[in-house]
Structure 1
């Protein structure tokens, strides 16, 4: 009888481990952007909105960072073993810029109640919060660059489109001041992650609420995703035809996750006619640079430095 109980105990443990493995691919489960297992604790609202990482009185540009699905406005950009996001630790000494980061509730599953906000709600909040911050700073007319990861790129594109059509000058100023966008692992054409992402909630049964609206936007044939893509590219084309420059640069992940593969492949992460550069990392780590010697950091820095230099000299 004792041997039977021990066997049953071992079998139960094996089943639990297998379920965890199905959910998060590793044991223990990693916590990262697009790790769609339930978060350890509900995110605090204090992590949402604009946070200034570096205030430069001689800034010629605002650079705003936007995280992606299940991300955080600081942790997303912080390398393993580090306590400070690289936009705060590595950029200020190299660019005459005010560095901002934006946070929003991009968690699709939570232990209490997941946000019901759709992508358009997050985009409108970004537009409102960023406009207000620049207004308080007295920087409404300062040139603006975005650096965006994953779903954050879709939120950014929609916010720019909303700004373009805004009736109020304070909201339209985001569009008027836009100089460039650095897209990092953004699923412009959708990501297969959407179907996989639905698994954890049902597999573990640990969450009480799921924001399926954020998952739906990632489907390859999602009409809203397609319309954002068409409208954004149309906007860029018309601006260039009118003589106004808005630069675009796309970075894509080189490395897959074990079993899962690449979260956003090169085809989805790039835009025809614009620079496309790879970063030797997976979807999570492609935005976590540990030092200024990291090749990925140097590639992103060069793009930001080039644009900022042209803004400083009046060429852009």
Structure 2
């Protein structure tokens, strides 16, 4: 048998090296990068503010089509009545929005005949403050539903089904809360967003600061020509913000505050840690950041702040018949925070029950039956995310429908009493 020549061995060695190098490159390319992981995230929904009042969804769609390929999912008049707000998705996210910064698009330039300030549409995906998702017809508008998300959450995304653009407060509930008289939608749907990032936060706000911001965002409701009864839907930390705001309203002598407080009827709590929650895995994320006090204040271990808040909240709401509270609690364990292979914090740690049934149902003595205390077979984060035709949503829907009908009657009777 002939032995290979030295030159042939050299060629074989080079070929083997090329094969090994190519294989290594292929394996590296199969490892998910940060960019590829970002591209596989949930579809993003953007908010469009300062939309002219006379525009319809088709007008907004046509205008934005000049810049990209949008799908307008909703358009509704804001509570200040000065403009509309829309929600849109894009097949391909426009370059100015890819960095998650607001994008201002000029509507028109002022002329010498019209020396007004420049008008811009503003697109963002932060959803901070008030966003109106749905308006019923003016003659059908009987109640307002305002949803507040939890710690480190997103005003829109936290209520959205994972992996799709279905959001039950926008796409389902408006058409389920209907008038008994007409069968038409009767509830305006609003979400409120707050800054409560856990990791690398530069915010030193506390519960009172957050409740003050929430209160300020609602003042336009008190100054409207017609004040409708209000139902608050709150998840996790959002419920504590709501409670603190109601405590402040109940103590105020300001006429706008009194108007708002009288309009408050129903509160729907989802996994709200009235008696604290498990925060052990959050402390390493917070470190010595300025938001550590906020996170520690909602701990299940000896939180004096929550104990005081609960006592004041019970006094603020008054007696039976003045208001109504429904509490939903989680029954599935939730993954906790842990760093992944890229050094980023993800909810991939050991599972724990973040908010116990006792903490989530710290309600009033006359609201202890199944119509006011309900289980949701979801984790803490997913208990406010529903799919189309979701049986868990069915339970929530029926309670909200009943709450809305009772709110109409109670506020109507209350107003008649005040004017007589």
TM-score range, shorter chain: 0.7 to 0.9
TM-score normalised according to structure 2 size: 0.59
Q: Secondary structure at the match of 1:114?
A: coil
Q: Greater CA radius of gyration, 1 or 2?
A: 2
Aligned residue for 1:233? 314
**Equivalences for residues 1-316 of structure 1 within 5 A:** 46-56=126-136, 57=138, 58-95=140-177, 96-110=186-200, 114-132=202-220, 134-135=221-222, 137-139=224-226, 141-193=227-279, 195-202=280-287, 209-220=289-300, 221-236=302-317, 238-240=318-320, 244-258=321-335, 259-272=350-363, 273=365, 274=367, 275-291=372-388, 293-313=389-409
Distance 1:143 1:163 in 2: 15
Question: Comparing both structures, which one devotes a greater share of its residues to strand?
Answer: 2
SS in 2 for 1:108: coil
Instruction: Tell me the distance in 1 between the aligned counterparts of 2:259 and 2:408.
Output: 19
Encode CA deviations 1:41-85: one digit per residue, 9 max, x unaligned.
899795211100111222211100000000111001001122242
Conserved 8 A contact 1:109-1:211:
no
Q: Please say if residues 222 and 260 of structure 2, whose CA atoms lie closer than 8 Å, have aligned partners that are also in contact.
A: no
Change (3 A) 1:167 1:79: same
* Mapped partners of 1:216, 1:201: distance in 2: 10
TM-score, normalization: structure 1?
0.77
Gaps of 5+ in 2: 1-40, 43-98, 103-123, 178-185, 336-349, 415-420
Q: Distance in 2 between matches of 1:78 and 1:178?
A: 25
Determine if contact 1:252/1:265 at 8 Å carries over to the other structure: yes
Matches of 1:138 and 1:315, distance apart in 2: 19
Looking at structure 2, the residues matched to 46 and 82 of structure 1 have their Cα atoms a distance apart, in angstroms, of 18
Distance 1:268 1:310 in 2: 26
Aligned residues of 1:131 and 1:173 also touching (Cα < 8 A)? no
User: Whole-Å Cα distance in 1 between the matches of residues 239 and 383 of structure 2?
Assistant: 14
Can you give the 5+ residue segments of structure 1 that lack an aligned partner in the other structure?
1-29, 32-39, 203-207
The answer to whether the 8 Å contact 1:126/1:159 transfers is yes
Structure number with the bigger relative contact order (C-alpha 8 A, sep ≥ 6) is 1
| Separation in structure 1 between the aligned mates of residue 223 and residue 210 of structure 2, nearest angstrom | 21
Give the direction of change, closer, same or farther, for the CA distance of 1:186–1:117 in structure 2 (3 Å limit): same
Per-residue deviation, 1:304: 1.0
SS at match of 1:226: helix
Contact 1:163 1:171 in 2 (8 A): yes
> Is the CA contact (8 Å cut-off) linking 1:108 and 1:114 kept in structure 2?
no
CA RMSD of aligned residues (A): 2.5
**d(CA) in 1 for partners of 2:373, 2:270:** 10
Residues paired across the two proteins, number: 264
Task: State whether residues 266 and 407 of structure 2, in contact with CA within 8 Å, keep that contact through their aligned partners in structure 1.
Answer: no
Write out per-residue CA displacement over residues 293-312 of structure 1, whole angstroms, 9 at most, x where no aligned residue.
Answer: 21221111111100112334
What SS is found at the alignment partner of 1:231? helix
Return the alpha-carbon distance in structure 2 between the equivalents of residues 166 and 234 of structure 1.
Answer: 14
